[in-house]
Amino acid sequence: MKFNDIVKFSLNNLMHRGIRSWLTILGVIIGVAAVVSIISIGSGTQQVISSQLGGLGADIITISPGSSRAFGFGELNQRATSTETKNLTIKDVQTIKAVPGAQYVNGIVSERVSITYLTETASLSVQGVDPLAWKEMTTSNLDSGRYLTQSDMNSIVIGYDVANNVFKEPLLVNTQINVGGKLFKIVGILQQSGGGFGGGGTDNTIFMPVSAARTVVENVIENQFTSIQVKVADSSLVNATSNAIEQKLLILRHVTEDTKDFSIVSSQSLQQTISTVTNTLSLFLTGIAAISLLVGAIGIANTMFMSVLERTRQIGVLKALGTTNFEVTLMYLTESSIMGLIGGLMGIFLGFIASGIVSELGVRLLSGGPRGFGGGLSIAVISPNLILFAIGFSVLIGALSGLLPARRAARLQPVESLRYE
């Protein structure tokens, strides 16, 4: 019997079983859809996180006051920040500047400050920066105007949302606004970045020279900083430079690993930690979803066993006409594989829809609006490799489920089969 005939024979048997075949296939559809949607959302989330962290710069190290203690289970580490925080000082900045590999060092003073324009008032994040270092370190491009310079005192650069979405009237270059009770002139407006997990990033931030920021913030005293950013000369030296900075600060601040009162984080290490967590979570959820596939496989096996009983006389006739055991086995394996294939294709389509819905809901939930997570990025990615994997896996599940029924059908004796009622 030719393979084409075997395929036609298998399809004909599936169509004759009608509803039973579709109910069997439904188990595979649900399982494949669950696996596809979970894997696609996990992959998409990782890409979005990588994109957002990429906006921080792969060669940027951030030092913050307050220690972090890693604890948890296996690779899933949680971080607890000490409540006994001690702000960073000008001595820390000077020490870090002397570390080999540290190209630019930016001492930052940040706080939420009351902003007034015309008759409207809003509370926004203000960052005092070293203009020269900030210009070299920022990944945000200008929409209009210019960056800050060393000679600026009462000048500011604002994010895209500050300029366009905070007040009723858009803010333009050379406009004056009241920041913390003092007038500042806008000299630059940044392009929309969509950075940060809520879509904010630099978009809702006002940047000014650190000396000016000290006149409007209240909780940071002279010569202290709320954080320090370091641009490394080569991104491949981030880990080495980070370790060198840590050792220098431990000595300067007279602390040990156990009593450390500062934290050092790079976008690379943060990305690795988050990727580990999302990978573990995706694997866990995929394992749960795979149970649906197991149920579907049991359904296929049950249907195929019933088919052997129902078609015993038919098998006897085929064997009497010269059909070999191998051909009988191949017929049943083809039939179960077709059920797996149909279930896989329909499951992928359903997975497309499910991941799209979950992605859209997640985007709106995380961003608080329709603009999207990270500035319009989707958190569901379905790659060609995922499609091929889903199809291949569903066919394999179908074939394995039909293996025992196929062997049982092949072992039937023609005479006994013809006498079967």
pLDDT digits (tens, 9 = 90+) for 335-351: 888 888 988 899 888 88
Mean pLDDT computed over 65-84: 47
SS3 398: helix
Mean pLDDT computed over 370-387: 61
The pLDDT score that the predictor gives to residue 138 is 86
Asked if the model's pLDDT at residue 298 lies above 60, the reply is yes
Instruction: Calculate what percentage of the chain has a pLDDT beyond 70.
Output: 81
- Do 101 and 25 lie in a common domain? no
- Do 33 and 107 lie in a common domain? no
Q: Quick check: is 410 in a domain?
A: yes
Distance, CA of 113 to CA of 87 (rounded, Å): 19
- Domain of 403 in residue numbering reads as 3-53+272-418
The pLDDT score that the predictor gives to residue 373 is 42
- Do 255 and 276 lie in a common domain? no
- Do 254 and 325 lie in a common domain? no
38 vs 67, higher pLDDT: 38
The pLDDT score that the predictor gives to residue 189 is 94
Cβ-based neighbours of 352, under 8 Å, separated by 6 or more: 36, 382
Q: Quick check: is 67 in a domain?
A: no
Asked if the model's pLDDT at residue 136 lies above 70, the reply is yes
Q: Quick check: is 75 in a domain?
A: no
Q: Quick check: is 64 in a domain?
A: no
Asked if the model's pLDDT at residue 199 lies above 60, the reply is no
Categorize the per-residue pLDDT at 57 as very low, low, confident or very high, splitting at 50, 70 and 90.
low
Cβ-based neighbours of 164, under 8 Å, separated by 6 or more: 170, 171
Categorize the per-residue pLDDT at 53 as very low, low, confident or very high, splitting at 50, 70 and 90.
low
- Do 247 and 395 lie in a common domain? no
- The DSSP annotation for 244-266 comes to HHHHHHHHHTT--TTT--EEEEE
293 vs 398, higher pLDDT: 398
Cβ-based neighbours of 103, under 8 Å, separated by 6 or more: 136, 231, 232, 233
**CA nearest to 128, candidates 97, 146, 107, 100:** 107
- Do 255 and 281 lie in a common domain? no
Write out pLDDT tens, residues 223-247: 889 999 999 888 778 888 888 999 9
- Do 249 and 290 lie in a common domain? no
Contact at 8 Å (CB) between 72 and 245?
no
Distance, CA of 260 to CA of 254 (rounded, Å): 9
- Do 98 and 167 lie in a common domain? yes
The number of distinct structural domains making up the chain is 2
Residue 314 has φ and ψ, to the nearest 5°, of -60, -40
Select from 260, 281, 303 the last residue of a domain.
Answer: 260
The pLDDT score that the predictor gives to residue 374 is 44
Q: Quick check: is 82 in a domain?
A: no
Q: Which two tokens stand for residue 305?
A: 């066993």
Q: Quick check: is 398 in a domain?
A: yes
- Do 207 and 284 lie in a common domain? no
Pairing of strands 224-225, 227-232: unpaired
Asked if the model's pLDDT at residue 375 lies above 50, the reply is no
**What distances in angstroms separate CA 276 from CA 36, 77, 236, 269, 282, one per listed residue?**
20, 10, 20, 11, 10
Q: Quick check: is 235 in a domain?
A: yes
Select from 260, 287, 302 the last residue of a domain.
Answer: 260
- Do 138 and 255 lie in a common domain? yes
Write out pLDDT tens, residues 75-122: 334 344 444 456 789 999 999 999 998 889 999 999 999 999 988 999
The pLDDT score that the predictor gives to residue 358 is 75
Q: Which two tokens stand for residue 94?
A: 């000077």
Residue 178 has φ and ψ, to the nearest 5°, of -95, 120
The pLDDT score that the predictor gives to residue 247 is 92
Select from 206, 229, 260 the last residue of a domain.
Answer: 260
Q: Which two tokens stand for residue 285?
A: 């959820």
Mean pLDDT computed over 253-273: 81
Asked if the model's pLDDT at residue 51 lies above 70, the reply is no
- Do 32 and 159 lie in a common domain? no
176 vs 287, higher pLDDT: 176
Mean pLDDT computed over 148-156: 91
pTM: 0.59
Q: Quick check: is 100 in a domain?
A: yes
The pLDDT score that the predictor gives to residue 196 is 47
- Do 105 and 251 lie in a common domain? yes
